[in-house]
Structure 1
Amino acid sequence: MNRDAAKRRLQTEPFDICIIGAGASGAGAALDATLRGYRVALIDRGDFSGETSSRSTKLIHGGVRYLEQAIKKLDLAQLKQVRHGLAERRTVIRNAPHLAHPLGLLTPVFSRFEGLYISFGLALYDFFARDSTFPKGRWLSRKEALSVMPTLTPRMHSAVQYYDGQLNDARYALALAQSAAEAGAAVANYMALTAFSHDANGRIERATLTDQLTDESLTIQATLFLNCTGPYADAIRLLANPALESRIRPSKGVHMVLPRSVLNSDSAMLIPKTPDGRVVFAIPFGDQVFVGTTDNDYRDLNAEPVLEPAEIDYLLETLAPYVAQVPKRTDVKAGFGGIRPLIVSSRADTKTLLRDHEVEHDERSGLLSLLGGKWTTYRLMAQDAIDQAGDQLGRPAPCTTDTHYLVGGENYRFDDWKQLHQQYNLPDDVCQHLMRTYGTRAVQVAALTRNDDTLRDRLLDQQPYIRAEVIYQVQHEMAMTLRDVLARRWRLELADWQLTAQAAAAVADLLAVSLNWTSAQRDSHLADYLSLLTSFQKQAGMKTETRSFA
């Protein structure tokens, strides 16, 4: 992906569809539309998956909680949502096997009756899935459960095991955008839509874009505009037609990050009961464990949702009955928050609002808006939106994304890391990291080390990130800022704020060379990012270590 080339295309080419927002749904829609033969532009005011889509629980799932509610309330809408999610798990993994995989989850229980109840529910879950690629759930004895997850409380009676999927959400969205670009879409990050131009009948025919990196203004022409901005969808809808009513009720969900030793397992934990009726997950991700999520109304969409002290206390208290040794506040290494785009309904609170999606067509302005949804069903959401777009264009075409490999996914075999090691003499852990991060494109990253031996150097001791990756991310993945690299192309910011700060200066040096920053620009970018990391620590009530951030 080349941002300068994409900018020129945005200004000079007429498009069939301009997609606003490059998270899961927007990037997914861009790939779908491009594969159907439409002329597509994909823009985002920030980075790819810079907001909600990079801050999920990293699960691909049908929704165990939704199944329970569907059965208890005989709610067919919830049941439909579960079946859609279960059907899509296999496709999400199949199309990007380097970025998604099956994940075992344990649910500790404290009585035989509780075990029977949950086992019955998960048997239904497997029945609706009808997916032989995932192992079947089973009821484990206490001894068996402790062999899978040694840190579970000995007070438990037993545990129920089932399987869902896990994905690297930010890199998955990036792979969707890359795949769309390679199929012919014009793709650009940091390109904000600031105004619409309407024809005499009030229909949108052009839009004004502002380059967030240069403040340059440009105009894009498209027959249709598709709003895929998640929790920010109402702002675009009202920009297109001020008479519309709000449709999104934002909900904040946060995760705290603990050391992997809290679980000491490759499996995750589902905590089925919390005082306020939620479910909470503890999920291994790299060297850490993500614990979340919360669910509360969120009003200030201009402020990034962050981990706060009360949320740490809530998550620690929720985890405490299920582990032998309860983590302390000082064990928290980082945290991150996201905003769910829940669709407004008559239901009472965000825990019961449907997360299924809707494609809205505003007849006055012509704007299409893809509302709601979740990561697991991003492809179905995109398909529904582009089906409607094709009808509006008068050129319907079939969807083919169910069998389309994303970049790095086709012919992927994890064991090819051994060939990478033999060919480029990189350490084993580095080669394994490259395969999991870039898939079959890992060889392109490794090849950069041939002409510059310093690019094989690690950025952090005991971590697999090497300097060549930053160069590759700028050249091929449109990385433009420190946070693009450290929070999204790598997931270091989500996992450990202290390590992120230690790596920031070296990353800034590499970006400065690749992006032609002046010395003053390099220092400004670095200072701003270190300040942001410090603010995250302060807002979480954690002790800041400013010296290492300087």
Structure 2
Amino acid sequence: MNRITNLEKLNKEEFDICIIGGGASGAGCALDATLRGFKVALIEKEDFAAETSSKSTKLIHGGVRYLEQAFKNLDFAQLRQVKHGLEERHTVIRNAPHLAHPLALITPVFSWFEGFYFTIGLTIYGFFAKNDSMPKAQWLNKKETFEHIPTLTPKLHSSVMYYDGQLDDARYCLALAHSANKAGAAVVNHISVTGFEKDKTGKLTAAIVQDNLSGKTTNVKAKLFINCTGPFGDSIRLLANSSLEKRLRPSKGVHIMLPPEVLKSQDAMLIPKTKDGRVVFVIPFEGEVMVGTTDDEYRDLEKEPILISQEIDFLIDTLRPYIAKVPDKSQIKSGFGGLRPLIASSGSKATKKLVRDHEVEFDETSNLLSLLGGKWTTYRLMAKDTIDEACKLLNKNVDCKTELHYLVGGENYHFEQWKTIQEKYNLEEDICQHLLKKYGSEVENILKIIENKDLKNRIHPDYPFIKAEVIYTIRHEMVCSLRDFFARRTRLELMDWKATSGSIKVVAELMSEELNWSSAEMQRNIAGYQNLVKNFMENAGIQ
């Protein structure tokens, strides 16, 4: 993924389709459209997965909460959403096995009746999963439950275990963008749409864009523009046609990160009900334990949604009935907030009651196609529906080819290869396993870089990230900023704020040399990112 080369293409070439937004839906659309033979540009104002797509609960699932609501309220839209999610689950895992895998979830129950109720529900949940080799739901007794998660409260009666999928959301999104680029799409991050050019009838002919790194502006010409900007979708819709009504009602969800001692398990926990009627997940992720999420309406889209102290209190209180030793605030290592791109209903439903389905909207006045709503698990189906519509508009009848298309790093991936890497390169076990899980069959490109012995060293002593990854991600994954690397290529910002802060200088020095930053630029980048991390900690009330 070469940003300079792709910027030149944006300047000089005309495209069949220009996709705005480099999250899961935009990158998914770019891959789908490119594989169908369209000439495609994908532009993203920040970084791939910088917003919603890097801030999910990291689950590939149909949604157990939606299933319960579907039956209780006879809501067939919720049921359809569950069915779509479970049908797509196996495809998400199959196409990038290095980034996605099955995950066992334990639901603690406190009576025989609760156990019976959840066993029936989760058995029905599994029934909707087609072409799926996931194990079926099981009712575990108390002893079996503690064998899975030893830190649970002794007050529980039993538990129900079922399976869903887990993914590294930011790196999965990057793999989609990288795969689209490899298939021929011109993929560029850190480039903002500031306006559109239109013909005499009001149809879009070009997007006016600004390179956020150089400040230069250019026009990207295309026959069709697709809006895949998630919770920010209304801004692009109104930029294309100011007479449109707003369609989206974003909601904020936060997660906190706790040390592994909270679970002492590779399995996750589902908390089936909170005081505000949600479910909360407690999930092992990258060696830490992630707890989330919340659901609150969010209106100030100009500001990044961040974790605040009251939200920490809510999540810890939610843990209280289920964990024998409840963690306190001082144990929190980091946290993050994200926005759901919910489509507004005609009534005044709370955001947690809105369906996570998607809609493909076509505005005849501007010729803008918008992909609205949706969720991570169904990104491929969302992209298929969108590009099917694009095919009609561009008079090209080509079937979707993404169902069996391996993403970059996914084909010929074998986890056991880490042992060969360890023997050949004399790296520690956790580093070898990390490199293989994150880069898959592309790992050889990193291993070539570590011929310089210093680049084999860890960035931080507590984590498996090494200096060679900084070089690799700049050269091959379009890293342009410190936050690109820490938040989305390695995920350290999500895992541990103090470790991130302590690693910034080391990474900045490597980036400075690779990106030709001046000394002043390097210091400015260090100070800016240090202040951002400090702000996260202060708002969360973490010292």
TM range (shorter): over 0.9
Separation of aligned partners in 2, 1:278 and 1:83 = 20
2:112 corresponds in structure 1 to 112
Give the C-alpha shift of residue 423 in structure 1: 2.4
Q: Aligned with 2:250: secondary structure?
A: strand
In structure 1, distance between residues paired with 2:124 and 2:202: 50
Q: Is the 8 A contact 1:60 1:165 kept in 2?
A: yes
SS at match of 2:353: coil
Count matched residues.
Answer: 542
Extract unaligned runs of 5+ from structure 2: none
Post-superposition Cα deviations, 1:352-400, rounded to whole Å, max 9, x if no partner, equal 1111000000000000000000000000000000000111001121001
Q: Report what 1:531 is aligned to.
A: 531
Corresponding residue number in structure 1 for 2:470: 470
Q: Residues 250 and 297 of structure 1 are in contact (CA less than 8 Å); yes or no, is this contact kept in structure 2?
A: yes
Deviation at 1:463, TM superposition (A): 1.8
Residue in 2 that maps onto 1:317: 317
- State the SS of the aligned residue for 2:290: strand
TM-superposed deviation, 1:418: 1.1
Letter in 2 for 1:494: L
Between the aligned partners of 1:205 and 1:69, the Cα distance in structure 2 is 44
Indicate the residue corresponding to 1:499 in structure 2.
499
Q: Is 2:92 aligned against 1:88?
A: no
Secondary structure, counterpart of 1:336 in structure 2:
strand
- How far off its partner does 1:460 sit? 1.2
What does residue 384 of structure 2 align with? 383
Name the CA distance, whole Å, in 2 between partners of 1:526 and 1:135.
47
- Normalising by the residue count of structure 1, what TM-score does the alignment of the two structures yield? 0.98
- Tell me, yes or no, if the aligned pair for 2:90 and 2:132 is still in contact at 8 Å: no
How far the C-alpha of 1:131 sits from its partner, in A, is: 4.4
Report the equivalent of 2:446. 445
Following superposition, which runs of at least 4 residues in structure 1 exceed 3 angstroms of deviation? none
Deviation by residue 1:466-523 (Cα, 9 ceiling, x = unmatched)? 1111000000000000000011000100010000011111000010011000011001
Give the C-alpha shift of residue 175 in structure 1.
Answer: 0.2
Partners of 2:502 and 2:177 lie apart in 1 by: 30
Kindly provide the CA deviation profile for residues 397-441 of structure 1, in whole angstroms up to 9, marking residues without a partner as x: 100100000000001110011111222222221111100110011
Q: Is 1:425 paired with 2:461?
A: no
Query: Hey, what does 1:371 align to over in structure 2?
Result: 372
Q: State the distance in 1 between where 2:488 and 2:478 align.
A: 12
Q: Does 1:178 align with 2:178?
A: yes
Please give the residue correspondences for 1:144-293 in structure 2 after superposition, counting only pairs within 5 Å: 144-293=144-293
Which AA in structure 2 matches 1:423? K
Aligned partners of 1:420 and 1:443 also within 8 Å: no
1:512-527 correspondence to structure 2 within 5 Å: 512-527=512-527
Q: How far did residue 30 of structure 1 move?
A: 0.2
Match of 2:20 in 1: 20
- Letter paired with 1:489: R
Residue 457 (str. 1) matches residue 474 (str. 2): no
String of CA shifts for 1:293-313, please: whole Å, max 9, x gaps: 000000100111111111000
Quick check: 96-105 or 414-423, which moved more? 414-423
* 1:346 shift after superposition: 2.3
Q: Which amino acid aligns with 1:185?
A: A
Instruction: Please tell me the residue identity of whatever aligns with 2:415.
Output: F
CA displacement 1:268-307 (0-9 Å, x = unmatched): 1100111111110111001211101000000100111111
2: CA distance, partners of 1:355 / 1:349: 13
What code does the residue aligned with 1:399 have?
C
Counterparts of 1:395-410 in structure 2 under 5 Å?
395-410=396-411
SS state at 2:416 partner: helix
Q: Matched residues in 1 for 2:429 and 2:340: separation?
A: 38
Q: Is 1:357–1:372's contact at 8 Å kept on the other side of the alignment?
A: yes
State the TM-score, normalizing by the size of structure 2. Answer: 0.99
Q: Match for residue 361 of structure 2?
A: 360
Instruction: Give the Å deviation of 1:333.
Output: 0.8
In the alignment, the residues of structure 1 paired with residue 430 and residue 381 of structure 2 have an alpha-carbon distance, to the nearest angstrom, of 36
Q: Which residue of 1 aligns with 2:306?
A: 306
Aligned residue type for 1:382:
A
Q: Which residue of 2 aligns with 1:126?
A: 126
Q: Distance in 2 between matches of 1:172 and 1:232?
A: 21
Residue by residue over 1:445-478, the C-alpha shift from the partner in whole angstroms, topping out at 9 and shown as x without a partner, is 011112x121111111132111111000000000
Q: Equivalent residue of 1:249, what SS?
A: coil
Structure 1, unaligned stretches of length 5 or more? 544-550
